[in-house]
């Protein structure tokens, strides 16, 4: 096998796409300390193997939010997926539907919800940054509902833009501008550039549909930036719950008391996340907060998780610490950039194989067995 791990897919993607595109998906913010904490804390979650358990088949499916999924994993929302590889949103949506895992389209994707919904089918979720305009927010929710999305994922951990210094060093500014440096990188990556030429320059399709009287690219970008700086509060949760009757998930939860309050406010699930280390560089690792949130909301309330997942073993760690499902953003985008549609299928094969192998090693054949195999002195604080 040429690409036996997500790390191999990452390296292939790094070689195949321009550096500014790679840094966009790969970087955190600041000095990447939260990115590092996510990795270090996951590595500290250890399991004690159980011996003499015989041979049994592992159960890999899960039932979450009234749907039976084939794996306890999903595709996390990533803005401008189409920058990693042209048409990435469609590719990921089709793969999610084929493999029966959730696909969450970002508000700032390079494709509209109407475009992606037919590809994702029953697996379609939509991630929302609450716009400053209540009318625009209501209209987006209406469009998402009418397109058939089954869950609305409200992201609440972006009260202000992060700086993303690695992106800036790579020449990915705000608003983005084509420079000689970026043009040279594009010329050095002809496969990506040719695919981009066929697909067209990626843009924020959904939000651009609400921008008027902004003909220049820079003007559109500035208006969109203002549009999504809505700074939601607790009243926003109540307002959205009033107009969205399907599953409502709040993403960016880290404090147990916030998880409990959201549960009591009628939110259907909370998503523990620190935005993959991309938003705040002095925050705790998400896995360190997961157990507290689970304890607060109780054993039967759905808890989702992301931030740092880099393989099947990390999925096991997240489930053992209280998550019902774990989501990957970077991993799926490395796979698409490396191998296209084949890359996504290959990544899911790796995750399945790692889950089966890892669970067999510790004698856990149901996900409910994982917590009992934890080495308690290894759990992150």
Hey, which residues are catalytic here? 275
From residue 250, alpha-carbon distances to 36, 50, 168, 241, 267 in Å are 24, 36, 29, 11, 7
Concatenating the DSSP letter of every residue in 138-189 gives: HHHHHHHHHHT-SEEEEE-S-SS----HHHHHTT--SS----HHHHHHHHT-
Residue 72 has φ and ψ, to the nearest 5°, of: -85, 40
Distance CA 125, CA 67 (A): 13
Output b/e per residue, 320-345; b: 16+ Cβ within 10 A.
bbbbbbbbbbbbbbbbbbbbbbebbe
Taking the alpha carbons at both ends of the chain, their separation in whole angstroms is 37
| Tokens matching residue 265 | 């406010």
Please name the helix (run of DSSP H) or strand (run of DSSP E) that holds residue 295, with its range, or none. helix 286-297
What is the three-class DSSP state of 237? helix
| Tokens matching residue 334 | 């490395």
CB within 8 Å of 14: residues ≥ 6 apart: 22, 26
Site of tokens 């699930």: 269
Distance CA 135, CA 13 (A): 40
Length in residues, the chain: 381
**How many helices (H) and strands (E) would you count in the chain?**
18, 10
């Amino acid at each position: 096998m040429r690409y036996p791990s997500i790390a191999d897919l990452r390296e292939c993607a790094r070689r195949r796409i321009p550096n500014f595109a790679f840094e966009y998906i790969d970087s955190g913010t600041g000095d990447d300390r939260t990115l590092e904490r996510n990795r270090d804390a996951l590595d500290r979650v250890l399991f004690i193997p159980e011996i003499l358990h015989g041979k049994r088949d592992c159960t890999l499916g899960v039932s979450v939010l009234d749907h039976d999924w084939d794996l306890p994993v999903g595709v996390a929302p990533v803005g401008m997926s189409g920058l990693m590889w042209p048409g990435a949103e469609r590719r990921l949506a089709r793969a999610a539907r084929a493999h029966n895992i959730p696909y969450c389209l970002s508000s700032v994707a390079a494709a509209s919800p109407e475009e992606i919904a037919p590809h994702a089918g029953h697996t379609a979720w939509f991630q929302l940054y609450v716009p400053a305009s209540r009318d625009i927010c209501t209209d987006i929710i209406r469009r998402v509902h009418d397109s058939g999305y089954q869950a609305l994922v409200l992201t609440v951990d972006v009260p202000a833009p992060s700086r993303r210094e690695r992106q800036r060093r790579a020449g990915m500014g705000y608003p983005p501008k084509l420079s000689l440096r970026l043009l040279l990188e594009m010329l050095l990556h002809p496969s990506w550039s040719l695919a981009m030429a066929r697909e067209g320059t990626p843009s924020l399709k959904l939000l651009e549909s609400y921008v008027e009287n902004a003909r220049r690219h820079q003007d559109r970008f500035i208006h969109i930036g203002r549009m999504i700086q809505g700074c939601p509060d607790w009243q926003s949760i109540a307002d959205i719950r009033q107009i969205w009757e399907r599953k409502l998930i709040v993403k960016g939860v880290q404090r147990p008391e916030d998880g409990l309050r959201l549960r009591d406010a009628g939110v259907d699930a909370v998503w523990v996340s620190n935005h993959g280390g991309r938003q705040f560089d002095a925050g705790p690792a998400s896995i360190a907060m997961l157990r507290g949130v689970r304890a607060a909301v109780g054993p039967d309330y759905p808890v989702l998780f992301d931030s740092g997942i880099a393989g099947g073993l990390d999925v096991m760690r997240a489930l053992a610490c209280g998550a019902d499902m774990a989501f990957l953003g970077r991993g799926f985008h490395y796979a698409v950039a490396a191998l296209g549609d084949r890359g996504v299928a290959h990544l899911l094969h790796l995750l399945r194989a790692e889950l089966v192998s890892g669970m067999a090693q510790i004698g856990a054949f149901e996900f409910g067995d994982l917590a009992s195999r934890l080495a308690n002195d290894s759990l992150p604080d």
